[in-house]
Every structure is written in C-alpha cells, then in structure tokens.
Amino acid sequence: MDFPDVGERIAMLRTAKGVNASEMSRAIGKSDNFINKIENKKSKPSMDALYDICKFFNITPKEFFDDGADEPELLREMILDYKRLPPGEQHQIAGLAKTLATKGLR
C-alpha cells in the first residue's frame, strides 16, 4: 500500500468538504492552527488526533489512507445503497458505472 502524505490527504478531504483549516481544527477540539501545521508538514498528528480527524470526515482510518478515493464518505454511502439493491439492479448499476468510467478515459 502506498501511503499518502497525511497533510496532503487532510487538505484534499478538507477542501472537498468545504471547510477551512481553522474551522476543522476547532471542530476536532484543537487549537486554530493545528490542521495548518499538519498540512504544512510542521507537525504530525498523534494516533488519537488521526482518529478525531477521521471522525470529522466520517471515514475510517483505512479509508483515510486509501488515496484512490477522493470522496470516501460518498463511496461508502454508494456501496451501502448498492448492497440494498436486488441483483438485477446491481448489474445495471455496475454496467452504468463501467460505461461512465470508460467514457471518462477517452
């Protein structure tokens, strides 16, 4: 597994969520510049802080380190919805996803 830079991953997820570093820092109970320091490689989060960061994004640590998923929370929701569908509809969704992904590669 190729681990992403923690600061870069936080910045990507934070930007996708539409929140600034100070707001996020306060939301997880840290000082205003906590996230900024991590994103600028001036510090690293403890394991406890990393769990708080994951809770903020509503993702697991595994999802945090899966840099192939730009929106892990959305991906998890889609998978849960997909699992609730009957098999025939799952195949339709899989076919649609394959078609859209193929068009995106052109």
Q: Are residues 17 and 36 in the same domain?
A: yes
Q: Are residues 44 and 90 in the same domain?
A: no
How many degrees, rounded to 5, is the angle at CA 15 between CA 9 and CA 17? 105
pLDDT digits (tens, 9 = 90+) for 46-67: 999 999 999 999 888 988 987 6
Q: Mean pLDDT, to the nearest integer, of 59-88? A: 84
Q: Are residues 14 and 37 in the same domain?
A: yes
Output the pLDDT for position 88. 92
Is 1 part of a structural domain of the chain? no
Residue 100 predicted with pLDDT over 90:
no
pLDDT digits (tens, 9 = 90+) for 21-33: 999 999 999 999 9
Question: Distance (Å, rounded) from C-alpha 33 to C-alpha 106?
Answer: 42
**CATH value at residue 65:** 1.10.260.40
Q: Are residues 81 and 60 in the same domain?
A: no
Is 60 part of a structural domain of the chain? yes
Measuring CA to CA, which residue among 11, 21, 12, 7 is closest to residue 68?
Answer: 12
Q: Are residues 79 and 65 in the same domain?
A: no
